Amino acid sequence: MAFKTRVLLSALLLAATGVHAQQSALQVDLDSTDSIKAAAKVIAANLYSQYPGDQPGKTPGILPGPPPGGPYYWWQAGAMWGTYVDYWFYTGDDTYNKEAMRSMVFQAEAPVNAYMPRNWTASLGNDDQGFWGMAALLAAEVNFPNPPADQPQWLALAQAVFNTQYPRWEMADCNGGMRWQVERTNGGYDYKNTIANGVFLNIAARLARYTRNETYAEWVDKAWDWLEGVGYITEEYNILDGGHIGHNCTDINPVQFSANAAILIHGAAIMFNYTDGSEKWRARTAGLVNRTIDHFFPNGIMVERACELEDRVQCNVDQHSFKGYMHRSLATAAVVAPFTRDVIVKTLRSSTAGAVSSCLSDGTCGFRWNTGSYDGDVNRGPAGQAMSALAALSTLLLDQQKVLNGPLTNQTGGTSQGDPNAGQKFQGTTPLREVTAGDKAGAAIVTAVVLASFVGSVVWMGMGWSERS
């Protein structure tokens, strides 16, 4: 997904730059709900113009790709539909609901319905599958219109993703964690990274809150402890990318991508809410939010620091969409962890002002938000740029009661039907059950062993043996 080698978009899109330069800037009054909705509607339409799946003979649900057929990999369409679900929730515009439903159901692929379509096996990462699962879970949390009864339901789709992923947790290498890639033939199969494990944590946290099934929460704790123990989450709440199993995951790539931080902020804030404000999750949420704003929002406007440099942009197609995930995650955190609200709302507003300044009147948006104008960056998109700007505008509409009520659960009005056994036709795994006292006792023993191993790993890293040549 986020860090695979990508082929750049063809010169065809570059030809559009000259035309765009003649257009006026998008006008938005950030103090007006109506103005925000009107501008978001323009960007939503522009984004949809990049999508061919509603045309005769085209595959529902996906953006043009993969390279060389188009710039986008499969996962990014899942992120796009999640963006449209949020757009509907914040603005009330249902223009794209029908196609979003059709796409998310179609790409789940019957009969397993776990977002593991055969056509995408050659590039399927755990994070790719997880982005579609998060979109389905969001649909459940906001009561997005449910599919017909004879089709898979939003909650069950998210449970299917979880049920096919947790058996991939490996203790043999790096004392736990999931590999980046699902298939051993894929490049990156030997890499255990933050995004794959963070998406898994995110889904588990939200399933725990939605269903009140503590088994999901146990997996959240396991995933967090592993990420922290292996050194991908540092004491300062820097979120590092990953390491290779051949080095016991100690050859850590120190690059910080905002998508990793965004996914973990969302998950931690959900756990703060689920645990009724536990100090552990409060500290983690605060640490992540504060460090993330400090690192990724210099002067209050988001910058993808790893690849958006002062003198050049070297971000790939995937990374051009990351800003939207950050805005959406921070907005949810502000709701479910209210102690973060003031700093987050202030940051979202200033960053959105930057995002708007990058857009033209037809809804075409650039990548750099801190230059005060459209940057003409369409050679790595432009769907990602539009997704990010759409998310930024939509999430400014936080002060609606339906938003302030927080993501729904099956006890607070959520209507989506679940299936604890979803997805297991493919994997043959054991259905989830509630954790027993015996399970917890056994888990304590295992945790002690794992933590001891983590100490060894930390010492190994501290001695510098993991440095790359």
- Which of 411, 275, 276, 403 has the alpha carbon at shortest distance from 334? 403
Q: Where are the alpha helices (DSSP H) in 92-125?
A: 97-106
Q: How high is the pLDDT of residue 22?
A: 65
Whether the ω angle into residue 66 lies within 30 degrees of 0, i.e. cis, is yes
- The neighbouring-strand residues paired with 313 are 308
Coil, helix or strand at residue 152: coil
Determine the pLDDT at residue 445. 37
At CA 267, angle to CA 135 and CA 313, rounded to 5?
70
Look at residue 121 in the predicted model and tell me its pLDDT: 86
Phi, psi of 450 (to 5 degrees): -65, -45
Q: Is the dihedral of CA 147, 71, 13, 306 positive or negative?
A: positive
State the burial class of residue 172 (Cβ atoms within 10 Å of its Cβ: 0-12, 13-18, 19+): exposed
Indicate if the pLDDT at residue 164 is higher than 50: yes
Dihedral sign for Cα 121, 127, 133, 139, please. negative
Nearest 5 degrees, angle CA 160-CA 164-CA 169? 140
Judged against a pLDDT cut of 50, whether residue 180 lies above it is answered with yes
**Other C-beta atoms within 10 Å of 463: how many?**
10
| Distance set, CA 232 to CA 237, 253, 264, 278, 425 (Å) | 9, 9, 12, 23, 33
Dihedral of the alpha carbons of 156, 96, 392, 378, in degrees to the nearest 10: 110
Residues composing the chain: 469
**Is pLDDT of 318 > 50?**
yes
Residue 301: both structure tokens together: 């406007």
Q: Average pLDDT for residues 144-171, to the nearest whole number?
A: 98
In the chain, what are the domain boundaries?
42-168+414-435
Among candidate residues 253, 357, 255, 377, the one with its CA nearest the CA of residue 302: 357
Q: What is the mean pLDDT of residues 106-111?
A: 96
Q: What is the pLDDT of residues 212-238, one digit of tens each?
A: 999 999 999 999 999 999 999 999 999
> What confidence category does residue 123 fall into, taking pLDDT thresholds of 50, 70 and 90?
confident
In tens, the pLDDT along 455-467 reads 333 322 322 222 2
Phi, psi of 342 (to 5 degrees): -60, -50
Q: What is the C-alpha to C-alpha distance for residues 35 and 213, in angstroms, rounded to an integer?
A: 41
CB-CB contact of 13 with 379 (8 Å): yes
With CA atoms as reference, report the closest residue to 328 among 140, 81, 115.
81
> Where in 164-274 does DSSP place strands (E)?
191-193, 242-244
Give the whole-angstrom CA distance, residue 291 versus residue 102: 38
pLDDT band for position 11 (50/70/90)? very low
pLDDT at position 267, please?
A: 98
State the Cα–Cα distance between residues 258 and 104, nearest whole angstrom.
25
Q: Is the pLDDT of residue 257 over 60?
A: yes
Global model pTM greater than 0.85: yes
pLDDT recorded at residue 451 = 36
Choose among 412, 440, 410: nearest CA to 158: 410
H or E stretch covering 220: helix 214-230
| Alpha-carbon span 214 to 359, nearest angstrom | 44
| pLDDT computed for residue 102 by the predictor | 98
pLDDT band at 446 (very low <50, low <70, confident <90, very high): very low
User: Higher confidence at residue 428 or residue 148?
Assistant: 148
Write the pLDDT tens digit of every residue in 258-313: 999 999 999 999 999 999 999 999 999 999 999 999 999 999 999 999 999 999 99
Residues 6+ apart with CB under 8 A from 320: 367, 377, 380, 381, 382, 384, 385, 388
Indicate if the pLDDT at residue 208 is higher than 90: yes
Q: Which residues contact 212 (CB under 8 A, 6 or more apart)?
A: 409, 410, 411
If you average pLDDT over every residue of the chain, what do you get?
A: 88
Q: How many CB atoms lie within 10 A of CB 290?
A: 14
139-159 b/e (C-beta count within 10 Å ≥ 16 → b): bbbbbbebbeeebbbbbbbbb
Sequence-distant (6+) residues with CB within 8 A of 91 are 37, 40, 41, 394, 397
CA angle 189, 195, 197 (to 5 degrees): 80
Please give the backbone phi and psi of residue 306, each rounded to the nearest 5 degrees, phi first.
Answer: -70, -25
Torsion, Cα of 344, 349, 353, 355 (10° steps): 40
Per-residue pLDDT, 6: 30
pLDDT at 379: 74
The pLDDT of 340-362, averaged and rounded, is 98
Contact 352, 391 (CB under 8 A): no
Mean pLDDT, range 395-413, rounded to an integer? 97
pLDDT digits (tens, 9 = 90+) for 30-82: 999 999 999 999 999 999 999 999 999 999 999 999 988 999 999 999 999 99
Whether the pLDDT of residue 131 is over 90: the answer is yes
Reported confidence tier of residue 436, pLDDT bands at 50, 70, 90: very low
Cα of 464 vs its chain's centroid, Å: 32
* Of 404, 412, 436, nearest in space to 338 by CA: 404
Q: Are strands 191-193 and 242-244 parallel, antiparallel or unpaired?
A: antiparallel
Main-chain dihedrals φ then ψ at residue 328, nearest 5 degrees: -65, -40
3-state SS, residue 284: helix
